[in-house]
Structure 1
Amino acid sequence: MDLRDCKVGLYEKALPQGLGWKEKIIEAKAAGYDFIEISIDETDERMARVKSGSREGKQIRKALMEADFPILTMCLSGNRRFPIGSMDKKTREAGLALIRDAVDFAVATGIRIVQLAGYDEYYGSRSKDTERLFLEGLKESVRYAACRAVTLAIENVDTDFMDTLAKIKKYVDAVDSPWLKIYADIANLTARGVSMQQLYADIGQAYADTIAWHVKDGKLNVIRDTPYGDGIVDFDAFFAYLKEHGYAGLFVMEMWSDGSEVSIGYADTARQFLRDKISIATSAQ
């Protein structure tokens, strides 16, 4: 087995928002992807998807079944609005309820991984108390997910709380469950401006718990909307590292559509970019 065996998904927001789920699946399949990653962000509209019996949730399940095409991962960023480390009890409870809804939706749709953003608090002030509450909420959420055979995975983000994989690893170890892993983002790591030596030392510390990668480019302190190959991520070195260490997991191309049909074509360009980089890594001696 090598990197070419890893399934590659397309982030839902890479495609125009106006497309229905049937159209999104058609475009993702045509571009050579193996699955779609669904977005449950801070908007009421997207969070409503995971509510039991929601109309769009039913439409999504129907479209997946008819197309025989999976959603293997969920990007659950809605907890930025309702962080589980919040000092406000109602906010915290809403965040925990959102995770439970997301897990239940995952069971209904066959999603394997629900990605949690690594924020104890996003818009409010952080403290040792928010870190403690986050850990308590994380343990509760993992227990709920474990009883339903859904894996939760924390992504490294753009704040000091969890901007490295080593920091996430401490929480993974503290929870100590096979149902909590790491969903890493190479651009988020690189954008911190650390040396290659520091970067790969960090990846190495958490390697065994890393089950998926968001693949996107970035620049110093810029983690969005950088075309592949225009940023500072050394993809050749990155995939060579993964090959050397025998990585087996998922890749998801994370992009944001500009709302035009150009983004549909770019989804194909991005898939070819990844295919080429993996080919270079796997053919190297």
Structure 2
Amino acid sequence: MSFTSTENKHLLGVYEKAINNKFAWKDKIAIAKQASFDFIELSIDESDARLQRLDWSDTEINQLHNELQAQTFCLNSMCLSAHRRFPLGSKNKTTVQQGLTIFEKACVLARKLGIRIIQLAAYDVYYEPHDTETERNFITNMRKVAELAQKYAVTIAFEVMDTPFAGTIVRCLNLIKRIGKANILLYPDIGNLSQFSTAVFDEIALGQDKIVGFHFKDTLPKQFKEVPFGTGTAQFEAALKAIHQYVPTVPILIEMWSKNDPAESTVQNVAQLKQAKQFYEQQWDLALKRVK
């Protein structure tokens, strides 16, 4: 096996939901590869269909694993957003237990698929009212999550979220301090962070020792999904300058959403991903020109 120089080169991934959901895994992997991505981030969201993945049989897991090997590809990370529906800060003990069970199953699935990082949605609650009790419950139950992550030797990281509770790196660091578990790391979302902080560069500098990856997406005030690249207010220049200076080799993931058009071809999906990747590369060019 030979290796080329990877100094200052980020592994670049794409969110699974950027690929039309009608495609089988074989095609999803091929689409991501043809668009020159290095990995896919697996989605385990709150829908019944994706939660069912946590109960995949070994046969189903091996089929996906074999397909990844056949195409020399990987699932580097998992976006575990199911805790919107089953929040760890809930006042309902049954809901909390379901949330903890979901996390443990996610750890098992991650190990079997070779996934390195489970990205956690840092919500105390989402559909329920937030108060001091939900926040306290979240802190308590995140200690249990951290211990499960240690048990299964899986890396866990908070996403900087689309709500004020954990909308900045500073807020996430404060939560981690209160939880008191050093194995909880950070996976900032540039788009989310841009809507809750005017000091994106400084935030990334502050969190550099905890950061294991980034989401790259555009956002607008109060609109955190499906904002076409270049039409939002995400502070890409400040973020990329900070990444270049403080965390120059962490993986970056382009987060976008397919419209899941039934008539879409693989060629069309590849073209969409390539267009997003081109925008990403243009933002790097702009940021680094101004660094010099």
TM-score, shorter chain, exceeding 0.5: yes
Distance, in Å, in 2 between the alignment partners of 1:12 and 1:22 is 13
The aligned amino acid for 2:281 is R
Aligned to 1:257: 258
Tell whether the 8 Å contact from 1:16 to 1:264 is kept in structure 2 after alignment: no
Structure 2 residue 239 is matched with structure 1 residue 235: no
Superposition pairs of residues 1-285 of structure 1, within 5 angstroms = 4-51=8-55, 53=57, 56-192=60-196, 194-195=197-198, 198-260=199-261, 261=264, 262-282=268-288, 284-285=291-292
- Give the secondary-structure state (helix, strand or coil) at the position aligned to 1:10: strand
Tell whether the 8 Å contact from 2:160 to 2:169 is kept in structure 1 after alignment: yes
Deviates more, 1:41-50 or 1:52-61: 52-61
Tell me the CA shift for residue 159 of structure 1: 1.9
Structure 1: which 5+ residue stretches go unaligned? Answer: none
The aligned amino acid for 1:111 is I
Distance, in Å, in 1 between the alignment partners of 2:144 and 2:191 is 30
Summarize the Cα distance change of 1:2–1:243 in structure 2 as closer, same or farther, 3 Å threshold.
Answer: farther
- Give the secondary-structure state (helix, strand or coil) at the position aligned to 1:133: helix
Tell me the CA shift for residue 213 of structure 1: 0.6
Tell whether the 8 Å contact from 1:214 to 1:251 is kept in structure 2 after alignment: yes
Tell whether the 8 Å contact from 1:216 to 1:255 is kept in structure 2 after alignment: yes
Tell me the CA shift for residue 200 of structure 1: 2.9
Deviates more, 1:7-16 or 1:173-182: 173-182
Deviates more, 1:142-151 or 1:83-92: 142-151
Distance, in Å, in 1 between the alignment partners of 2:247 and 2:213 is 13
Structure 2: which 5+ residue stretches go unaligned? Answer: none
Summarize the Cα distance change of 1:204–1:44 in structure 2 as closer, same or farther, 3 Å threshold.
Answer: same
Tell me the CA shift for residue 57 of structure 1: 3.5
Distance, in Å, in 1 between the alignment partners of 2:125 and 2:249 is 32
Deviates more, 1:200-209 or 1:183-192: 200-209
Identical pairs, percent: 32
The Cα RMSD (Å) is: 2.0
Distance, in Å, in 2 between the alignment partners of 1:53 and 1:156 is 32
Q: Normalising by structure 1, what TM-score?
A: 0.92
Tell whether the 8 Å contact from 1:190 to 1:220 is kept in structure 2 after alignment: no
Summarize the Cα distance change of 1:257–1:52 in structure 2 as closer, same or farther, 3 Å threshold.
Answer: closer
Distance, in Å, in 1 between the alignment partners of 2:64 and 2:50 is 12
Distance, in Å, in 2 between the alignment partners of 1:129 and 1:160 is 17
Distance, in Å, in 2 between the alignment partners of 1:121 and 1:178 is 23
Distance, in Å, in 2 between the alignment partners of 1:27 and 1:243 is 28
